[in-house]
Each structure stands twice: as structure tokens, then as C-alpha cells.
Amino acid sequence: MPGLSQSRSLAKRQHRRLSNPAILPVNQPTLAMGQTLEKVALVEKLPDSRTAHLQPIIDFLKAQGNDPASGDEFTYNRDGFGEYLFHQSLDVEALRQRFTFPPTILLTKDAVQDTRNFVAITQALPPSAPLTFNL
């Protein structure tokens, strides 16, 4: 049966390609030792929390040496927008390599913005001098 032998040879080629460690899936970055690092898939929301699904990002940034600027918690303004602030700028490229983001979580050049839950992770603004008026 020619159809059966073709499907067997196709299955063998697919098995060889999938079992070959030199051929990596596109979404996995290559490490120096030839190992792969699985991306962590983030979800849009977890039950009973607006921010728990962002905890892996916060833990990753703290492990990189970033210091929380807001007391290690989200702070909310009077409109309900929440921010988790770090003293250092975020390494957005490292975040892209480590995580798979759902469409509701956006990465800008200096922040992670969750448009569904109205929260963001970003760098705190440095303190500024108070305004003075010389008349």
C-alpha cells in the first residue's frame, strides 16, 4: 500500500525533527550551554485578585536585583489605577525572553501594563525639587 508507506516515512521524518535537540521551537531562547529555557505563560487574571497573576514578573525582577520602591506592594490612586514601583528601570527585553504575555498585558519601553485590571509595573519617578516662585 503506497499510502501507508508514505505516512510511515512522514511520521519518521517528523519524529526525527521533533526529537532532534538541535532544532528548537521558535519561542524558546537558547542559553549559553545549549540548553533551552521554557517561557512562563502568564494568564490574564486569577480569581479573587487583580494582581496575583503578575507576581511571577515581580519575583523575576526582584531576583535580577531590582528593589521595590513602593513597600513591596501595589499602590492605588483615587481612580483605582494600581502601580508596583521599582527603583531601577525594568529590563523589558529579559521579560520578553522569560514570559509569554496575553494580549491584555502590554510591554512598553519602561513598563508592564495590564489593561484588563488597570495595574502597571514600572520604575518610580525620582523625587523632584519643589516648585518655588520668585516674585
Query: From first to last of its 135 residues, what are the pLDDT tens digits of the chain?
Result: 555 555 666 565 555 544 444 433 444 444 555 555 688 999 888 888 999 999 999 999 999 999 999 889 999 999 999 999 999 999 999 999 999 999 999 999 999 999 999 999 999 987 777 778 877
Q: Measure the CA–CA gap between 8 and 116, rounded to whole angstroms.
A: 47
Backbone angles phi, psi at 124, to 5 degrees: -70, 145
Is the four-CA dihedral 124, 47, 44, 57 of positive or negative sign? positive
Every domain of the chain and the residues it spans: 1-31, 39-135
Name 49's bridge partners.
46
